[in-house]
């Protein structure tokens, strides 16, 4: 099923009417449809990232983060995503996306999306992102302050800090490569 239909379905359920604490886990229920499948007849790896967008939108609406974004005239931007796949999801299988905030640093907010079927985590998508306004990127502390959350992030796990640092390293490498005359290489 196309992302737009899933977003519309989620919006019709009016998640902004159900409030959630920013550190709670929000849950979206879904089913695997034929357009989610690859040639191996299970959910294609890229579709997990797309479906995580729906879970993230549900979270942003339920926690009220969208109101903060609107006040700042900011939009959410995904910087990097990473996925871990443990078991396949098959045609017509029901599953849930459990979304939660892991924490933040000076620039990035970190979220986790767990894909759960039959009580088991079948995949995880980790995302780091920002809210960007015309005046630039909003510090995560500005968002959490508006949500009434303590400004200090929960401790981030070492694996998440290493992943974030590796993303920063790749960004530096790409900027360096873009600065070279690639025709001369």
The whole-number pLDDT of residue 182 equals 54
Q: Which range of residues forms the domain containing residue 148?
A: 3-154
The CATH number of the domain holding residue 71 is 3.10.129.10
β-strand pairing of 74-85 with 120-133: antiparallel
Q: pLDDT, tens digit, for every residue of 97-132?
A: 999 999 999 999 999 999 999 999 999 999 999 999
Closest of 91, 136, 88 to residue 115, by C-alpha = 88
Positive or negative, the CA dihedral 88, 52, 99, 33 is negative
Q: Please answer whether residues 30 and 97 qualify as being in contact, where contact means their C-beta atoms are separated by less than 8 angstroms.
A: yes
The pLDDT score that the predictor gives to residue 81 is: 97
* 159 belongs to a structural domain: no
Residue entry with tokens 């905030």: 101
> What does the alpha-carbon distance between residue 164 and residue 78 come to, in Å, rounded to a whole number?
13
What is the structure's pLDDT at 66? 86
Burial of residue 64 (number of CB atoms within 10 Å: 0-12, 13-18, 19+)? middle
Residue 179, in any domain of the structure: no
* Across 12-16, 112-116, 144-148, least confident range: 12-16
pLDDT band at 150 (very low <50, low <70, confident <90, very high): confident
Tokens found for residue 142: 């500005």
Q: Structurally, how many domains does the chain consist of?
A: 1
């Amino acid at each position: 099923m196309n992302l737009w239909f899933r977003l519309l379905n989620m919006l019709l359920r009016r998640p902004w009417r159900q409030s959630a604490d920013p550190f709670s886990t929000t849950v979206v229920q879904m089913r695997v449809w034929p357009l989610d499948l690859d040639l191996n007849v299970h959910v294609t790896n890229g579709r997990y990232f797309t479906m995580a967008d729906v879970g993230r939108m549900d979270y942003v609406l339920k926690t009220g983060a969208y109101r903060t974004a609107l006040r700042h005239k900011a939009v959410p931007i995904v910087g990097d995503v990473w996925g871990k796949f443990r078991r396949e999801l098959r045609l017509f299988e029901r599953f849930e996306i459990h979304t939660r905030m892991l924490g933040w640093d000076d620039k990035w907010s970190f979220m986790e999306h767990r894909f759960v079927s039959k009580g088991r985590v079948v995949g995880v998508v980790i995302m780091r992102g920002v809210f960007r306004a015309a005046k630039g990127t909003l510090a995560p502390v500005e968002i959490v302050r508006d949500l009434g959350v303590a400004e200090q992030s929960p401790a981030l796990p070492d694996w998440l800090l290493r992943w974030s640092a590796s993303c920063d390293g790749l960004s530096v490498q790409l900027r360096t490569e873009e600065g070279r005359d690639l025709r001369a290489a």
